[in-house]
Amino acid sequence: MRRLASWLLDSGPVLVLALIAGAGSFSHVRQTAVEHGQTGAMAWAVAVCVDLTCVMAARERQRDKKTGRKRTGPLSWPTFVLVAGIVLSLAANLHQAEPSVWGWLTAATPAAAFLVAVSMLERRATALHLKPSPPSTGSAPAAAIPSLLSASDGAQGDATDPSPALLDYARRVADEHHAKHGKPITLDLLRARLGVSSQLATDLLRHLPTAPETS
């Protein structure tokens, strides 16, 4: 319940803005469609198509960022579709406007607000999928850990014996922790720092010398 309330306080205003702006833009697009021969259900269908296309394109942009898909031209296809939808909505809003500067500005507000709301929701959705960076390991780069793990997996002898390279790396991490905090590193901290399984962290810790705690 508390998480729901927090989400409503955080994202509620953006959703309300999106709904109001979408409704205003929807009304202008539908009215423009009516004036140009698309009456009844077709006018509603045109308006729905324009607004939902913008939402769909924004979601596709967010999905492309999450999957790391590269664009093949100056603009990705979802970005092009989003821009085209906003341009259509803006054109309909301006068509319904009073022919004056303030008339154009006020008529363009729903389309602009809808674009802002969609971009904010897209930004928030992207942020939800971001993972925190692993903690700094000081002596060795984090990119070296996968190769060290591979070396450990392929080590000869007892399956519980980590590779010398991984063991040396774990020893440096443990030494840094002891120098900073004045006590040996724990199993959970070593596992978190290296990003390894509990079993491998136990094997590594078993090979590390136990430093006496300072008073």
Q: Where does the pLDDT of residue 148 fall: very low under 50, low under 70, confident under 90, or very high at 90 and above?
A: low
Model confidence at 154: pLDDT above 50: no
Burial of 74 (0-12, 13-18, 19+ CB in 10 A): exposed
Q: Which residues contact 202 (CB under 8 A, 6 or more apart)?
A: 187
Least confident of 46-50, 154-158, 206-210: 154-158
What is the C-alpha R_g of the chain?
Answer: 28
Instruction: Return the pLDDT at 75.
Output: 77
- Cα separations in angstroms, 162 against 103, 136, 152, 188, 204: 73, 22, 5, 17, 7
**Which among 28, 38, 42 is positioned nearest to 90, based on CA atoms?**
28
Model confidence at 141: pLDDT above 60: no
